[in-house]
Each structure stands twice: as structure tokens, then as C-alpha cells.
Amino acid sequence: MDHFLYQDNALFAEDVRVSELARKYGTPLYVYSRATLERHWHAFDRAVAAHPHLVCYAVKANSNLAVLNVLARLGSGFDIVSGGELARVIQAGGSPDKIVFSGVGKTVAEMEQALELGIYCFNVESAAELELLNEVAGRLGKLAPVSLRVNPDVDAGTHPYISTGLKENKFGIGMDEAETVFARAQQLPHLQVKGVDCHIGSQLTELQPFLDAMDRMLALVDRLASRGISVEHFDVGGGLGVPYDAETPPQPDVYAAALLARLGDRKLKLIFEPGRAIAANAGLFVTQVLYLKDNGDKHFAIVDGAMNDLIRPALYSAWQNIIPLEPRVGMTRAFDIVGPVCETGDFLGKDRQLNLEAGDLLAVRSSGAYGFVMSSNYNTRPRAAEVMVDGDQDYLVREREKLAQLWQGERLLP
């Protein structure tokens, strides 16, 4: 069920009129639906209810404390990629023993932080990282739980910038090296081998690449077993896509059933790291039309939200639906929806059939993942406020940045 629906020609987030939120908190503004976040998380959790599992929400998709807290209250685990994300999860009430730590460039300080907190597992991405983690754990008198992220060399069929499972990508340990690195991990005294891990990319809309990756990973698990190296869990990563437009990605239950069928009778706990599938369609980005402008036949709607707020269209030519909060009747025209930033690539959408006037409010849908988290202060623009709706209540979960915060920490020369 969609929690962003029109009632009497006005867009609602759950039971709250979105234009009311724009009036109350100003624009540009991110709006999240708690019910949607929860529904999406449960869809994963229920899909594998009968099998040992852990759903570790990928914090990078949306790391607002309120979002993390809503998921932590459901008992979610978390997939993190930095000490910053680790601190956020703890701040939001997440349990360290449900945290998996991914990422190709963990620093000593981050390893120490995670070992002290007692996280569930490190997803180690190189032989060099393995050696360093062993050293750091030894120094702290700890045993570091590890899973090796293996690069299965499959084509995820997604945008090249968000594809991670090919040999040419920087992620994970090559399949040809994997057994040697596992053998080494088992020898190292301050490590405990717990699992295997892969993550082949993001916004996957087909099952096949997941299954290809799983087949290769399970063949590895079997080869490891024959060498006396056993693992407890298989972390399948994240990457399940969402409908931005007409895509029809598999639903979590179909995806999980297919993975479970491949798993056969192997006694492996499954770990999932969904980010986008939980957060993307739980959020809107709300912006107001400042000016309309025609250059010949070309119509522009210049809005107060820009690429610094929502970079996906500029960065990946990503398409996200743009809808009016209160649609007008009458003729539509093809508009490019562009922001105030001084870059030609600063657009939120191109060639959108809309009927607009200055002052109108628009919602960019599917903005709950990789939206606010990728925002910047380019052009000295304060970052947007974030609001969470819960039924008929709304909560400001991040204040709009104030200008003085932007140069806090900067110094003049004497």
C-alpha cells in the first residue's frame, strides 16, 4: 500500500497533507513515512521468517537518526561503512551485536571502535585488511569476527557507477584468491571466520544476477567445506531495486524464496543488507517553483531544490517521478525542472508534462534513499530539513541548516 496518495486533489504522506508540511517547515524539504519504512523492513524479515536470518539495513541509504531508530525498534540489524555510521547506529539505539561493517577502506581507528563495541561481523574486503584487522584485534585482546566479501564477477545489469560485483570494480576479494585468503583468515590467531559475503550492485531489477552470484558463492562455500573451513552465515548484500518508473523488481518475498531455494539444505544463516528497497519509496523531496522561464520552445521550472539537495538525477541521470502537491486542471507543457545551482547538470527532471505556476509545490518521489545523505553545501546552500510522518503526526527529525553552521570551523587569517 502506498502511503503517499492524493485525497481531494492534495498529496498526503500517510494522514498528513504534504503542502501543510511545506508551509510549516519550509522548502526544500525531505518527508519520510514511518509506516512505509516499517512495511518495507517487515517485507524482508517476513520473507525469511522460517530461516535463521538477520536484516541489516544499509545505513548509507538514509542515516537520519529517526530513520535508524524506527528500524532499531523493529529489531533491525545494520550494515555500516564507516565509524561515523557506527556512531549513528549506536546513537539511534541500534544493537552492536547486529552490526556488519562493510567497506574497502576501514581505518585502524574504525576497527578499534567496532571491536570495542563488539559488532557482529567485519566484512573484510582485501587480504591486506585481514592482516591489519588481526593485528588491531590482537593489540586490543579481542577476537574479530570476520566474513570475507568476495567479488563473484557477475554483471549486475545496473548503472556502471553502482555496479560492484565485477572484477574491474574495487570491491571485495577476487574469487580466484578467495580460498587462499580464507585459509589465511583461519590461521590468524585474532580472527574468527564467520561467513561469506557478496554485494554485486545496487538498483537490480532482475533476479538472475543475484542467483548467478549466489551459485558462485555457494560453490565457494562447498570448496571451503571440503578444505575444513566452515562458515556460519552467508551475507547476500543489498541491491534489490525499487520501481522509480516502470521497473518491476522482484518483491522481497520472491527474491528471498529464490535465494532460499538455491541454498538447499546448507545450514547457513542469511544476512540481507537492503538499503534502497527499505528507504527509497518511503521518502519525498518537496520543492517549490520559484520562476517559470521559456527559452524559445523550451520551458523551465526553476525550483528551490537543487542538485546539492538531491544529486541522483545529475549524477546518474536517474529518473524520479515529479508530481504536483496540488495538481492544476488544464493544459500541461513539457518542463525541465531545474535548481538554482550554477551547473548545467543541475536538474531534478527533464521533459516532464506538468501544468505549473510560480509558487507551486512539487514532490520528487522515491527520494528516501540516497537523497539527503548525498546532499552537500555546494553554492553555500544550507541542507534541507527532514520530517517524519507517523499517521496524522509529523516530527521534525532534522532542522534546516542555518547559514552560520556552514562556516562554523572556518578561520580568517590573522
Ligand X SMILES: Cc1ncc(COP(=O)(O)O)c(C=O)c1O
Ligand Y SMILES: N[C@@H](CCCC[NH3+])C(=O)O
Per-residue cell: 408: 562554523
The closest alpha carbon to 286, from 20, 103, 15, 76, belongs to 20
Query: Residue 86's binding partner, choosing from ligand Y, ligand X, none, with beta-carbon cut-off 5 to 8 A by kind?
Result: none
What is the DSSP secondary-structure string of 332-387?
Answer: -EEEEEE-SSS-TT-EEEEEEEE---TT-EEEESS-SSSSGGG---TTTPPPPEEE
**273 contacts 79 by C-beta, under 8 angstroms:** yes
Q: Distance of CA 252 to CAs 188, 206, 218, Å?
A: 37, 12, 20
| Residue indicated by cell numbers 523493529 | 74
Query: Residue 312's binding partner, choosing from ligand X, ligand Y, none, with beta-carbon cut-off 5 to 8 A by kind?
Result: ligand Y
Does residue 312 interact with ligand Y by CB under 6 A?
yes
Q: Give me the least distance between CB of 201 and ligand Y, in Å please.
A: 8
* Contact partners, residue 257, CB within 8 Å, separation at least 6: 47
Q: Find the binder of ligand Y among 60, 142, 149, 233 (CB under 6 A).
A: 60
Q: Give me the least distance between CB of 257 and ligand Y, in Å please.
A: 25
DSSP reduced 3-state for 163? strand
Does residue 283 interact with ligand X by CB under 6 A?
no
Chain-centre distance for alpha carbon 327: 30
Nearer residue to ligand X within complex by CB, 200 or 325: 200
CB atoms within 10 A of CB 389: 25
333 is in an annotated binding site: no
370 is in an annotated binding site: yes
Nearer residue to ligand X within complex by CB, 88 or 381: 88
Q: Find the binder of ligand X among 14, 110, 273, 360 (CB under 6 A).
A: 273
**42 contacts 76 by C-beta, under 8 angstroms:** no
Does residue 102 interact with ligand X by CB under 6 A?
yes
Does residue 275 interact with ligand X by CB under 6 A?
yes
Does residue 239 interact with ligand X by CB under 6 A?
yes
Handedness of CA 137, 138, 144, 146 (dihedral sign): positive
Cite the DSSP H helix spans in 160-271: 175-187, 208-226, 252-263
- Quick check: is 56 catalytic? no
Q: Give me the least distance between CB of 100 and ligand X, in Å please.
A: 9
73 is in an annotated binding site: no
Peptide bond connecting 28 to the previous residue in cis, omega within 30 degrees of 0? yes
Q: Give me the least distance between CB of 285 and ligand Y, in Å please.
A: 13
* Contact partners, residue 343, CB within 8 Å, separation at least 6: 307, 314
383 is in an annotated binding site: no
Does residue 276 interact with ligand X by CB under 6 A?
yes
**119 contacts 100 by C-beta, under 8 angstroms:** yes
Site string for ligand Y, 161-180 (x = CB under 6 A): -x------------------
26 is in an annotated binding site: no
Nearer residue to ligand Y within complex by CB, 19 or 287: 287
CB atoms within 10 A of CB 192: 15
Q: Which amino acid is at 319?
A: W
Nearer residue to ligand X within complex by CB, 199 or 312: 199
Q: Give me the least distance between CB of 222 and ligand X, in Å please.
A: 23
Q: Find the binder of ligand Y among 202, 308, 320, 367 (CB under 6 A).
A: 202
Q: Give me the least distance between CB of 152 and ligand Y, in Å please.
A: 16
* Residues linked to residue 148 through DSSP beta bridges, in sequence order: 124, 196
Query: Residue 239's binding partner, choosing from ligand Y, ligand X, none, with beta-carbon cut-off 5 to 8 A by kind?
Result: ligand X
57 is in an annotated binding site: no
Per-residue cell: 207: 533476479
Size of the site for ligand Y (CB under 6 A): 6
Query: Residue 64's binding partner, choosing from ligand Y, ligand X, none, with beta-carbon cut-off 5 to 8 A by kind?
Result: none
Using CB under 6 A as the criterion, which residues of the chain lie in contact with ligand X when the complex forms?
Answer: 58, 61, 79, 102, 199, 202, 237-240, 273-277
Q: Which residues sit at the interface with ligand Y, rule CB under 6 A?
A: 60, 162, 202-203, 312, 370
Q: Which residues are annotated as a binding site for substrate?
A: 276, 312, 316, 343, 370
Binding residues for pyridoxal 5'-phosphate: 239, 273-276, 370
Active site residues: 342
